A and B are shown apart, each in its own frame.
Chain A
């Protein structure tokens, strides 16, 4: 399958749709506390947007657009998860105890903040890192 085709339609639609998928994945990530969603499905959907870019363009182009080493991203995500869990030990409570509270933020007004969001960020980054590492490793090996 080394035939060259003109991918103008696929690429133009991808340029628009990838942003919509990214926005929707962020939405899914942030509403995970009260409605279906969360870090795992948000991360999968974000990597889905990157995979769509990979399908429309090629690996080199996407690596230029997003100069991210996904293995390091996985490590950062694990650090987020472990750090949020270990932060509980500082306050002399058991491991993985989460804290939360109501804060009055300048723009958003009365907002409930919970450290589980940070743990979920770790999950999100790990899922993106692992998925993209798998796909890119399969993609470059002939």
Chain B
């Protein structure tokens, strides 16, 4: 991933030196040509073609914005309810993500979607402890949301 981006920048610089015009335009042309070359020889690399990862990141961002809006509306419904009949609680979410930044990203996504809040992470980074505002009707739904987030993050880091 990072190596492919570096190679693409290097190819763009090479194109700038070949065409002896040191402008942003020629850099952009060289970058696009380098992208085509890297795409043609994508099987040489041990990792995926990096544009797939870029689209995965954009997809994660769109998913996050959608979830943020939906969850805020649902919290608004809870707040405006005349009777306080929701049941808060803490549940454990076993996660399959490995590295530190994946765990952090997942925890921050869970925290920023209202109704759920990450309280703690277990020492082996395998379990997230999550406080939910209404645990009675939404345990399975929350698990689905987490699976969607986790899948999207795995798409990025795979």
Chain B neighbourhood of A5, CB < 8 A? 120
Distance in angstroms between the alpha carbons of A12 and B125 in the assembled complex: 13
Distance in angstroms between the alpha carbons of A6 and B107 in the assembled complex: 13
Interface residues of B in 67-117 (CB under 8 A from A): 100-101, 103-104, 107-108
Chain B neighbourhood of A13, CB < 8 A? 104, 108
* A interface footprint on B112-156 (CB within 8 Å = 1, 0 otherwise): 000000101111010000000000000000000000000000000
Interface residues on B, range: 10 to 19
Interface residues of A in 1-45 (CB under 8 A from B): 5-6, 8-9, 11-13
Interface residues on A, range: under 10
Contact of A9 with B108 in the complex, beta carbons under 8 Å: yes
Could you tell me the distance in whole angstroms from the C-beta of A109 to the nearest C-beta in chain B?
Answer: 14
The SS class assigned to the A binding surface is helix
Chain A neighbourhood of B121, CB < 8 A? 6, 8-9
Chain A neighbourhood of B118, CB < 8 A? 9
Contact of A12 with B100 in the complex, beta carbons under 8 Å: yes
Q: Smallest CB-CB separation from B121: which chain A residue?
A: A6
Contact of A9 with B123 in the complex, beta carbons under 8 Å: no
Contact of A11 with B100 in the complex, beta carbons under 8 Å: yes
* B interface footprint on A105-128 (CB within 8 Å = 1, 0 otherwise): 000000000000000000000000
Contact of A12 with B101 in the complex, beta carbons under 8 Å: yes
Chain A neighbourhood of B101, CB < 8 A? 12
Distance in angstroms between the alpha carbons of A82 and B118 in the assembled complex: 52
Q: Smallest CB-CB separation from A4: which chain B residue?
A: B123
Chain A neighbourhood of B107, CB < 8 A? 9
Distance in angstroms between the alpha carbons of A12 and B118 in the assembled complex: 15
Contact of A6 with B108 in the complex, beta carbons under 8 Å: no
Contact of A6 with B100 in the complex, beta carbons under 8 Å: no
Could you tell me the distance in whole angstroms from the C-beta of A89 to the nearest C-beta in chain B?
Answer: 45
Other A-B contacts than A5-B120, A12-B104, 8 sampled, CB-CB below 8 A, are: A6-B123, A8-B121, A8-B125, A9-B107, A9-B108, A9-B118, A11-B100, A12-B100
6 A-B residue pairs with Cβ-Cβ distance under 8 Å, sorted by A, are A6-B121, A8-B104, A8-B121, A9-B104, A12-B103, A12-B104
Return the 7 tightest CB-CB contacts between A and B, nearest first: A12-B104, A6-B121, A12-B100, A9-B104, A9-B107, A6-B123, A8-B100
